[in-house]
Structure 1
Amino acid sequence: MKHPDGLYIVLISIHGLIRGHELELGRDADTGGQTKYVIELARALAENPQVSRVDLLTRRVIDPKVDRDYGESIEHLSSRAQIIRLSCGPRRYLRKEVLWPYLGSFADYALQHIRRVGRLPDVIHSHYADAGYVGLRLSGLLGIPLVHTGHSLGRVKHQRLLEGGTSKESIEARYNISQRIEAEEQALGAAALVVASTQQEVDEQYALYDNYQPKRMVVIPPGTDLERFHPPSRFWRNPPIEGQINRFLSYPRKPMILALSRPDARKNIATLIRAYGENPALRQKANLAVVAGNRDDISTMEKGPRTVLKEILLLIDRYDLYGSIAYPKHHDISDVPDLYRLAARSKGIFINPALTEPFGLTLIEAAASGLPVIATHDGGPQEILEHCKNGNLIDPLDADRMGEVLLEALSDRSRWQRWAKNGLKGAHQHYSWPGHVTKYLREVGKVIRKAKKPRLQAKKKSRLPVSEKVLVCDIDNTLTGDREGLRNLFKNLKEAGTEIGFGIATGRNFTSTLKVLKEWEIPLPDLLITGVGSQIFYGPNLVEDQSWQQHIRYRWKREAILEAMGDVPHLRFQPRSEQLPCKISYYVDPKKGIDLAAIARHLRRLDLSANIIYSHQAYLDLLPVRASKGSAVRFFCDKWGIPLEHLLVVGDSGSDEEMLSGNILGAVVGNYSPELEHLHEDPSIYFAKGHHAWGILEALEHYGFIEQERVVAAKERAI
């Protein structure tokens, strides 16, 4: 793919099934409007002359239950846009709520992809919370601006589910909602720009977040493919989907009330059917068509869609709607424009009765097709109808009023004609893709100009005494704690010669680290990361990496953070020797503990960005958002051209967690701190039985870093 001078934009959208043709919209809760949005955004951006390359990064899926297309590593959308599919945990198709343990690995593969391209993106744009988690790490490591779009927000979903009677425990178990919300908070805190679809989304939905900073938010409504969505012409032929609809209906010439969504409880299809079933005049006036995804056998579907579809069928039977309601089992994406046109030709109406609707792309598609709309008064529909003036808003929980509004809309022919004309005009004026891209590039351009353009480091042959294999360990309670184990460890490393390089990553400062190394007779390392990742030094003279210092100062307001932390109880400032330009450290009262979430909220509400690290249940460190042990080791690998799979990291406490995950080989010594207990759920991290240096030796053996015979001999000598 050629890259003349022009913008290189990386889009990230991880979950669901993403491809450039025959999108399986409505297949499940993860393959909805966001999937279509990112594909069309990628294509529209690539059509603009300011853009030279667009990469849409998503998850690679190899699963007999889905099409083979999703297993292809690269899919070209145009000459300047492509889908790049990367590994992310198990190869089989997974719902988004269980992807969290594998996102670190996805970020590492994304970094490798950018390295192969040989050019830094001008901007990274993440879509949804999971992509925000990845985008935050890529943006931080590469030093380039992050743009984020939340699409559906966790705090809003949590609120709605609680209002609907779902317990907190059930919400957490099903949706991993706390992890999702924290990822959203972090993405909002780091993003240079947040793109929202509506002003209501900014004013009401994002306002629920601690990192709510409206000055960094811009409203850019999504575009619509106006070539696909248009009113039926006089010579329009009957489409194939018409037969699938009419076979359900006794009087197919009646006006059609069309509902089009996936079978999700949030889409509120059941209330629509009640509204229709309990209004005899509406049933007499019109037919109802419910197109709710695709299905073969309801009993084999996931619990959520299965429950929704069973409820639909039971309601149809309760109200005896046979002959008045169509509910086809299958439709293709190519059928969607025809569905709108069929409803428009019948002088029908489109309804979106969803409980929550961040935007409502189907409403714009209906408007562009000359079909008036009735929609929930939540989120995007409010602004769409304000622009298009082509319908009415409803309370999605009031079934009686919903039925009345539908009947009124279908009974006034002159108003129907006015709404149809207004919607068509509004869609073209406010919701075209070229218009969207023009505003998008104008706003993104401001962000790019403010950012200092970094250089992509040339891949060097490592000058460290390694053969692209490095062992990195924490000091306290990992390297130290057992002198005999330590002696055996370094005897084995010495015998390995230049095969294995040695690094240290510690929370201690530089001076304190050297003191401990001397006390425990630990050789000077080839790589030394100190201050919980705020400093990097290279051996044998331990020269500091100044580019890392410059890189991590992004949004770091040390004095303001110090002042804000003065209000937090149960903390004691560590000695000045432990404070660094990019690290603020406290002792925590172990008897009283600490509320990390409260500290994060406190800082975020003051627009202060910090990476908060709690370790050994006694120490609290605040670093710049780009600084951590995990980021530092990845920066080191990227700079020296060392594959992450050739890096073995061993730790014991919470400050080590980030560097243990992803494609790095991670191990935890047997005497680990309780903060790491939850990592047992990650099968990629090895938990050694041996304590201290014995656990490191065990990890070396487990990952094949060192000959097994040497480790066995060392253990025998210890007995």
Structure 2
Amino acid sequence: MSELLQAVLNSDEKNDLRSLMSELRLCEKRYLLRNDILNLYEDFCTKHQKNAHTQSSHLSKLIYYTQEIIQEDSNLCFIIRSKIASQEVYLLTSDLSIEAMTVQDLLDMRDRLVNRYYPNEGDLLEIDFGPFYDYSPIIRDPKNIGKGVEFLNRYLSSKLFADPKQWQESLFNFLRLHQYRGIQLLINGRIQSQQHLSEKIKAAIAFISNLPLYEPLETFRLDLQTMGFEPGWGNTAARVLETLNILDDLIDSPAPQTLETFISRIPMIFNIVLVSPHGWFGQEGVLGRPDTGGQVVYVLDQAKNLETQLEEDALLAGLGELNVQPKVIILSRLISNNDGTLCNQRLEKVYGTTNAWILRVPFREFNPNMTQNWISRFEIWPYLETYAIDAERELIGEFQGRPDLIVGNYSDGNLVAFLLARRMKVTQCNIAHALEKSKYLFSNLYWQDLEEKYHFSMQFTADLLAMNAANFVISSTYQEIVGTPDSIGQYESYKCFTMPELYHVVNGIELFSPKFNVVPPGVNESYYFPYTRNEERVETDRLRLEEMLFTLDDPALIYGKLEDPSKRPIFSMARLDRIKNLTGLAECFGKSQELQEHCNLILVAGKLRVEESGDNEERDEIIKLYQIIDEYNLYGKIRWLGVRLSKTDSGEIYRVIADHKGIFVQPALFEAFGLTILEAMITGMPTFATQFGGPLEIIQDKVNGFYINPTNLEETASKLYDFVTKCDSNPAYWDEISKRGIERVYTAYTWKIHTTKLLSLARTYGFWNFISKEKREDLLRYIEALFHLIYKPRAQQLLEQHKYR
């Protein structure tokens, strides 16, 4: 029995628990989430004059760790999460008898809650990935979740130490694998065994030690070749000597850091695919379109910086004379009706790169009304399997062979990445960015009601398949995986859930697997840099955007005139959808007369008119924003810019707001990471961001930014007002927070940090897959079976619907 429950039952709070349960039974809701539970308990404590603080009593502590309560008849099901990445489930009856519930019991209860439980019709399909992780190393301590590569390096080092002969033989065989376009790298046939390698390493170290440190490789390349060493060890005597010494140390006394350093130097990745298929992927005219924006920015910046890092790595490895040309391809969708963009071009070079490209592959013809136009990310599922087949052929043609790494983006991209990696036998990396299951409350429980609009049955199935198939998974934050002590992570939400009448997931993902790694994205420093760097700013851009933000009268682009443009600006920039919650920020501003007296609200938010939008959710938010402006009489106090900004303008617009000592507010109901937060902080804007999601790890509250609860409008307004008045009385305070925000980004969130880590991960997991001989075929066969039995039939049904649109 849970220690938390037992502590209550063994104390004089037993009757309090009984009274609380009586009040819970009177609640109209049959399914209470954590916020509902805490609010109800606070009312209970007020009514009975008790202290609701977490540590004030055993009952308060129990309530604090209870994530959900489900009512069924007179019984209550408590789902308790007393520690990260684990939960306990108990059924409490009116006489306080307690029964532990299995995962299957819980899922059946959830099905009964929505009247979707039919025991006489046989058991529902149970999806359980647990057995496939029984033979893999598993992290024990929850605080190490997301540090998969560190754990894996420790594990591999211990194996090298415990069985040196076998593992050193595997290491030797691994080094013999590597080539670039048929040219052998690292070691050649003159080294024929692990023992021979060890001897040759020592001889090479002795030889190179007598050379000048900066002697270029070409002057002694033939000498190394005679000893059995091909290019790949370094570009100078110093670099080659350092790499060989690291390998020598690794063979003699393996250590995790030594292993990571050595593997990260191996030239084994030259060609990378970044998969982002759903469309409107381009470098101009796509930002602000439905389903794009942040994703396009992220993937383009990642592609550019990966190419730069690959080129740097190749030169450092001494491959300069081999004319190595790393290539990065962004795989997206070709859209014939391109709406003035370049999305109808098959191949487009990424600006500012040598060999990074956007490759667009069309969906196969079916109904031209669908396949030649943009399709929402909720609707594209029927086309992805054939798209992957066609894309494989195109990629092999562009690379003149297979890529070395495939990186999926979002649910659709990750499914395509799995299909491609499976067919091409390539290392697969998943980056989810945001999982829709966490965004839409009870989306799995009521999936049938939402299916026509969102098709979650396919999306959630795709997520399960891709994340389990991936060799490694990148998240932007720790809590994206397993949440916080009082909130469940996005990946954790896939651990156990029901899709009533479709399937039960009893173990959807192993959270303690070393495949998870936290690698946050960076900021494009070419566009986003501190407002104080006046020498890098373009004066004409600054003046143009200053006018646009504060005074320009252009009804086609801007709604609202400011009565007093000199007031401190509160600024936000996002697409208009429910989750981004710009309407919530407008309402928060509308409810606060104090804020209105001191500040103006300026929003950059896509479209101004309903008829301009093709997205249902965006249209709803446009209507809502006008209603809020009218309800709170915000005329003269708000500016709404319906514009698409280039990255150049986007960076400068933050800086112009910073010139006016403004503040940036990110009011999302949930934010997986928050790239706009980094952009605002690096430009020098004091930033207030949602406490729900990734911003908790970006911002250190009250040090270099501030958390807000966007569902509590009065509290949010109070925090903003407190900051504004403090800056009014002490202008240096604004400067202090501004400076700390800039420092925070430069020390933790650059693309250089991101790409170095990503490539190190790819090499380590490639090494792990080779030497472990991990039995993944049974897992992949299971995933394929689920794909064909669950995903594919549903995709075919949707395809039939598309036929008549």
Report TM bin, short chain.
Answer: 0.5 to 0.7
Normalising by the residue count of structure 2, what TM-score does the alignment of the two structures yield? 0.56
Q: Deviations over 1:601-641 (max 9, x none)?
A: xxxxxxxx2545xxxxxxxxxxxx4689x9xxxxxxxxxxx
Quote the residue 2:348 is aligned against: 75
Q: Distance in 1 between matches of 2:307 and 2:650?
A: 25
Equivalent in 577, 585, 594 of residue 281 of structure 1: 594
Quote the residue 1:437 is aligned against: 755
CA contact (8 A) 1:229 1:369 kept: yes
Q: Deviations over 1:430-481 (max 9, x none)?
A: 111111111111111101223349xxxxxxxxxxxxxxxxxxxxxxxxxxxx
CA contact (8 A) 1:200 1:380 kept: yes
CA contact (8 A) 2:361 2:391 kept: yes
Structure 1 residues 62 and 677: alpha-carbon distance in aligned structure 2, compared to 1, 3 A threshold? closer
The one-letter amino acid of 2:776's match is R
Quote the residue 2:585 is aligned against: 272
Matched, 1:304 2:617: yes
Matched, 1:446 2:771: no
Give the alignment of 1:267-416 within 5 angstroms: 267-295=580-608, 298=611, 301-333=614-646, 334-386=648-700, 389-413=703-727, 414-416=732-734
Aligned length in residues:
477
Give the alignment of 1:200-215 within 5 angstroms: 200-203=479-482, 204-209=489-494, 210-214=508-512, 215=514
Instruction: Please state how far the C-alpha of 1:388 moved relative to its aligned partner.
Output: 9.8
The one-letter amino acid of 2:286's match is E
> What's the secondary structure of 1:264's corresponding residue?
coil
Quote the residue 2:375 is aligned against: 94
Q: Deviations over 1:258-314 (max 9, x none)?
A: 010001011111221111111111101111001111456646543211110111011
Quote the residue 2:331 is aligned against: 57
Quote the residue 1:616 is aligned against: none
Q: Distance in 2 between matches of 1:299 and 1:118?
A: 43
The one-letter amino acid of 2:274's match is L
The one-letter amino acid of 2:642's match is K
> What's the secondary structure of 1:256's corresponding residue?
strand
CA contact (8 A) 1:273 1:315 kept: yes
Instruction: Please state how far the C-alpha of 1:158 moved relative to its aligned partner.
Output: 3.2
Q: Distance in 2 between matches of 1:132 and 1:271?
A: 32
Quote the residue 2:799 is aligned against: 682
CA contact (8 A) 2:447 2:457 kept: no
Equivalent in 475, 478, 482 of residue 199 of structure 1: 478
The one-letter amino acid of 1:397's match is T
Normalising by the residue count of structure 1, what TM-score does the alignment of the two structures yield? 0.62
Give the alignment of 1:686-705 within 5 angstroms: none
Q: Distance in 2 between matches of 1:445 and 1:38?
A: 20
Give the alignment of 1:592-631 within 5 angstroms: 609=779, 611-612=781-782, 625=783
> What's the secondary structure of 2:491's corresponding residue?
helix
Structure 1 residues 297 and 177: alpha-carbon distance in aligned structure 2, compared to 1, 3 A threshold? closer
CA contact (8 A) 1:226 1:428 kept: no
Q: Deviations over 1:205-237 (max 9, x none)?
A: 211221133421100110101221123245763
Give the alignment of 1:477-516 within 5 angstroms: none
Runs of 4+ in 1 over 6 A off after TM superposition: 2-5
Matched, 1:41 2:290: no
Q: Distance in 2 between matches of 1:127 and 1:281?
A: 43
Structure 1 residues 39 and 160: alpha-carbon distance in aligned structure 2, compared to 1, 3 A threshold? farther
Q: Distance in 2 between matches of 1:677 and 1:408?
A: 52
Unaligned runs of 5+ in 1: 454-549, 558-608, 613-624, 631-653, 662-675, 687-719
Matched, 1:147 2:429: yes
Instruction: Please state how far the C-alpha of 1:161 moved relative to its aligned partner.
Output: 6.1
CA contact (8 A) 1:350 1:374 kept: yes
Q: Distance in 2 between matches of 1:345 and 1:417?
A: 11
The one-letter amino acid of 1:82's match is W
> What's the secondary structure of 1:386's corresponding residue?
coil
Structure 1 residues 683 and 281: alpha-carbon distance in aligned structure 2, compared to 1, 3 A threshold? closer
The one-letter amino acid of 1:55's match is I
Quote the residue 1:119 is aligned against: 401
Quote the residue 1:261 is aligned against: 574
Q: Distance in 2 between matches of 1:229 and 1:677?
A: 43
Q: Distance in 2 between matches of 1:197 and 1:103?
A: 25
Structure 1 vs Structure 2 CA RMSD: 2.9
Q: Distance in 2 between matches of 1:447 and 1:328?
A: 46
Q: Distance in 2 between matches of 1:232 and 1:154?
A: 35
The one-letter amino acid of 1:346's match is H
Q: Distance in 2 between matches of 1:257 and 1:311?
A: 20
Quote the residue 1:515 is aligned against: none
Instruction: Please state how far the C-alpha of 1:25 moved relative to its aligned partner.
Output: 2.2
> What's the secondary structure of 2:402's corresponding residue?
coil
Percent identity of the aligned residues? 27
> What's the secondary structure of 1:451's corresponding residue?
helix
Instruction: Please state how far the C-alpha of 1:678 moved relative to its aligned partner.
Output: 7.4
Q: Distance in 2 between matches of 1:16 and 1:269?
A: 25
Matched, 1:9 2:272: yes
CA contact (8 A) 2:606 2:643 kept: yes
Instruction: Please state how far the C-alpha of 1:372 moved relative to its aligned partner.
Output: 0.7
Q: Distance in 2 between matches of 1:685 and 1:100?
A: 11
Structure 1 residues 160 and 229: alpha-carbon distance in aligned structure 2, compared to 1, 3 A threshold? farther
> What's the secondary structure of 1:94's corresponding residue?
coil
Give the alignment of 1:170-185 within 5 angstroms: 170-185=449-464
Q: Distance in 1 between matches of 2:693 and 2:616?
A: 27
Equivalent in 704, 719, 744 of residue 426 of structure 1: 744
Structure 1 residues 325 and 361: alpha-carbon distance in aligned structure 2, compared to 1, 3 A threshold? same
Structure 1 residues 295 and 113: alpha-carbon distance in aligned structure 2, compared to 1, 3 A threshold? farther
Q: Distance in 2 between matches of 1:444 and 1:23?
A: 33
CA contact (8 A) 2:481 2:511 kept: no
CA contact (8 A) 1:73 1:86 kept: yes
Instruction: Please state how far the C-alpha of 1:387 moved relative to its aligned partner.
Output: 9.3
CA contact (8 A) 2:288 2:644 kept: no
Structure 1 residues 678 and 81: alpha-carbon distance in aligned structure 2, compared to 1, 3 A threshold? closer
The one-letter amino acid of 2:799's match is D
Quote the residue 1:24 is aligned against: 286
